[in-house]
């Protein structure tokens, strides 16, 4: 796989339209596999609708120090999109006037945003129960301006959620880039050293597992036990929970599926594993995702496909939460990723 | 007959064996699912045993299914290959141990 973003390669799949064509046509053409909206029909009142707004997920920008092969954001060092100070302030305003319990900061590498610390400090004052930063770990070692981030996280009681696709070097580096595994281990040790992931503290350190290839994640609890045993034995590392996340057939993971001729079989396996009991627990039912430019989406995946919310309030400037929650959720065939097997969300399996 | 004997999509139709014998099919799948639950052996260990047996009985469906099952469980390729070598050693050993019979017949019949 390439070590550059689709955007920087001018790849056809850097267009959301091209991605949606794959998801709407091909094996999903009439007579083929059922569309997600059709499949959902019969299991619950359709269309799918949110039931609350508990989680505000902000994508602070697409810049990242890594170029992971599976990245649904197409993030990388070349991506310059960043949330403006005005939009950040609008997001704080939204938190002030709602009962949002969780603020989830993602990217790219959210720590690379020039106003990251200032924003986290302000948000931490607003009574958020769970302030999440999705850290790729290597950013903590990437530059001396980031080395004190673990201490900063601790002072703000940030909940750190980090990607680590496997507890061995080979699979991790193949997915996330050469040298990423050992740097991630070093960063995890630093976080452990100040109390993160330790049972005697309240500093939460969770890891995210996503499959290194064209297959679905296994049982979350079993994989968590494997990760805990291996990381403790090999590196004396502790963490709290492991979240298994299904790879979504969009962006660079879609590129991989198509290039490796796994696309059709992967989509078949997602459709076959459709689990209706995940429907009322998928994250779009209680989350709002905000793009760097202030547009709002049902989830981070819809954001990457530019499927804006099905409502007149499509921008953070206009959002009235109690009105926006009265909307239909935009779906396409990537949504099968969140309802396969035990379900999948940014907080791991849902069933 | 133009249809190949083995087709990968037939694996997905495995459950259809119940169509012509629902009661026996249901009993088989209930038993099958129980076998692979966590027990004295972990489900992970059972998956590796299944992979080795799949190679022994040379079932392409089972090899496909239990390679994918292993990937989902985080079983690594060197672990899978060691399981296949266990199968190969037992198969090879099963041939070789019959060499004792050959040797005994040979010696008995020879002057």
Query: Is residue A304 in some structural domain?
Result: yes
pLDDT of residue A198: 97
Q: Is residue B9 part of a domain?
A: no
CB nearest to B72's CB, from A168, A215, A272: A215
A335, part of any domain: no
A164/A242 Cα distance (integer angstroms): 9
Phi, psi of A310 (to 5 degrees): -85, 75
Q: Is the pLDDT of residue A183 over 70?
A: yes
Cβ–Cβ gap B43/A213 under 8 Å: no
Domains identified in chain B, total number: 1
What Cα–Cα distance (Å) separates residue A151 from each residue in A238, A251, A276?
17, 34, 42
Residue A147: domain span: 12-16+49-264+284-328
What is the C-alpha separation between A280 and A329, in angstroms, rounded? 12
Determine the pLDDT at residue A175: 84
Residue A146's pLDDT band (boundaries 50, 70, 90)?
very high
Q: Taking the CA of residue A211 as centre, how many other CA atoms within 13 Å lie in the half-sphere pointing to its CB?
A: 25
Give the ipTM.
0.77
pTM, two decimals, is 0.90
Mean residue pLDDT across chain B: 95
Q: Which residues of chain B have pLDDT under 50?
A: none
**Looking at the domain assignment, is residue A1 inside a domain?**
no
For residue B75, list chain A residues with Cβ-Cβ distance below 8 A.
Answer: none
Can you give the pLDDT at residue A37?
Answer: 93
Q: What is the pLDDT of residues A53-70, one digit of tens each?
A: 999 999 999 999 999 989
Chain A CB contacts of B68 under 8 Å are: 215
Q: Is residue B15 part of a domain?
A: no
Average pLDDT on A21-48 reads: 89
Nearest to A216 among B43, B44, B72 (CB): B72
How confident is residue A2, by pLDDT bands cut at 50, 70 and 90?
low
Task: Classify residue B29 by burial, with Cβ atoms within 10 Å: 0-12, 13-18, 19+.
Answer: middle
More confident residue, A345 or A90: A90
pLDDT tens profile B37-66: 999 999 999 999 999 999 999 999 999 999
Round the average pLDDT of chain A to a whole number and report it: 94
How many cross-chain Cβ pairs, A to B, lie less than 8 Å apart? 26
- Residues A116-129: tens digit of each pLDDT: 999 999 999 998 99
Residue A320 lies in a domain: yes
A336 falls within a domain: no
A3 pLDDT higher than 80: no
Residues of chain B found within 8 Å of residue A268, distances taken between Cβ atoms? 12
Tell me if B86 is assigned to some domain: yes
Whether the predicted pLDDT of A1 surpasses 80: no
Decide if A218 and B12 are in contact by the 8 Å CB cutoff.
no
Closest partner CB to B74 (pick from A226, A268, A272): A226
Residue the block writes with tokens 């779906």: A331
β-pairing, A296-297 with A287-290?
A: antiparallel
A219 falls within a domain:
yes
Residue A76 lies in a domain: yes
For residue A121, CA distances in Å to A125, A144, B109 come to: 7, 20, 92
B71 vs chain A: nearest CA distance in angstroms? 7
CATH assignment at residue A249: 3.20.20.70
B75: in domain: yes
B12 interface with A at CB cutoff 8 Å: yes
In a domain, A111, yes or no: yes
pLDDT in tens, A207-246: 999 999 999 999 999 999 999 999 999 999 999 999 999 9
pLDDT (0 to 100) of residue B1: 59
Residue A283 CA from chain centroid, whole number: 11
pLDDT at position A202 is: 95
Q: How far is CA A38 from CA A28, A43, A305, A332, A350, in A?
A: 11, 10, 20, 10, 22
Which residues of B fall within a CB distance of 8 Å from A166?
74
Closest CA to A163 of A193, A126, A196, A188: A188
Residue B67 sits in a domain of what CATH number?
1.20.1290.10
B73 in contact with A, Cβ within 8 Å: yes
Q: How many domains does chain A have?
A: 1
Contact A226 B43 (CB under 8 A): no
Per the CB < 8 Å rule, is B72 touching A168? no
- Distance CA(A248)–CA(B65), nearest Å, equals 22
For B69, the domain range is 36-109
Q: How far is CA A289 from the centre of its chain?
A: 10
Burial class (CB in 10 A: 0-12, 13-18, 19+), A175: buried
Summarize the confidence of residues A252-265 as an average pLDDT.
96
Provide the terminal-to-terminal Cα distance of chain A, rounded to the nearest Å. 33
Q: Cβ separation of B74 and A215 shorter than 8 Å?
A: no
């Amino acid at each position: 796989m390439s070590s550059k973003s689709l955007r920087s390669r001018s790849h056809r799949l850097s267009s959301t339209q091209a991605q949606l064509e794959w998801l709407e046509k091909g094996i999903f053409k009439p007579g083929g596999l059922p569309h997600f909206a059709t499949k959902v029909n019969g299991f619950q009142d359709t269309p799918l609708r949110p039931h609350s707004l508990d989680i505000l997920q902000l994508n602070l920008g697409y810049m990242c120090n890594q170029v992971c092969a599976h990245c649904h954001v197409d993030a990388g060092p070349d991506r310059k999109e960043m949330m403006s100070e005005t939009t950040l302030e609008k997001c704080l305003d939204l938190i002030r006037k709602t009962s949002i319990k969780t603020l989830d900061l993602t990217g790219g590498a959210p720590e690379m945003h020039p106003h990251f610390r200032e924003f986290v400090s302000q948000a931490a004052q607003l009574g958020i129960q769970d302030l999440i930063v999705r850290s790729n770990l290597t950013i903590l070692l990437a530059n001396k301006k980031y080395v004190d981030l673990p201490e900063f996280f601790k002072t703000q009681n940030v909940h750190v959620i980090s990607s680590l696709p496997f507890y061995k070097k080979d699979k991790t580096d193949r997915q996330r880039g050469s040298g990423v595994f050992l740097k991630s281990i070093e960063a995890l040790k630093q976080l452990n050293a100040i109390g993160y992931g330790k049972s005697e503290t309240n500093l939460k350190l969770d890891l995210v597992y996503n499959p290194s290839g064209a297959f679905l994640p296994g049982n979350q609890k079993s994989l968590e036990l494997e990760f805990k045993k291996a990381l403790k034995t090999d590196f004396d590392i502790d963490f709290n929970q492991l979240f298994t996340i299904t790879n979504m057939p969009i962006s660079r993971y879609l590129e991989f599926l198509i290039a490796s001729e796994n696309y059709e079989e992967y989509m078949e396996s997602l459709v076959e594993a459709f689990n209706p009991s995940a429907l009322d627990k998928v994250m779009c039912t209680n989350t709002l995702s905000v793009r760097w430019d202030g547009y709002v989406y049902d989830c981070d995946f819809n954001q990457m496909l530019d499927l804006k919310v099905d409502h007149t309030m499509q921008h953070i400037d206009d959002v009235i939460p109690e009105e926006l929650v009265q909307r239909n959720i935009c779906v396409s065939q990537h949504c099968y990723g969140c309802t396969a097997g035990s379900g999948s969300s940014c907080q791991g399996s849902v069933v | 007959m133009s249809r190949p004997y083995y087709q990968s999509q037939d694996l997905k139709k495995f459950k259809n064996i119940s169509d012509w014998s629902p009661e026996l099919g249901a009993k088989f799948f209930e038993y099958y699912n129980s076998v692979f639950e966590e027990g004295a052996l972990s489900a992970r260990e059972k998956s590796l045993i299944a992979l080795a047996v799949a190679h022994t009985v040379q079932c392409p469906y089972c090899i496909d299914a239990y390679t994918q099952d292993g990937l989902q469980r985080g079983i690594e390729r060197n672990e899978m290959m060691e399981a296949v070598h266990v199968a190969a050693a037992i198969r090879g050993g099963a041939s070789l141990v019959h060499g004792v019979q050959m040797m005994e017949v040979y010696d008995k019949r020879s002057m």
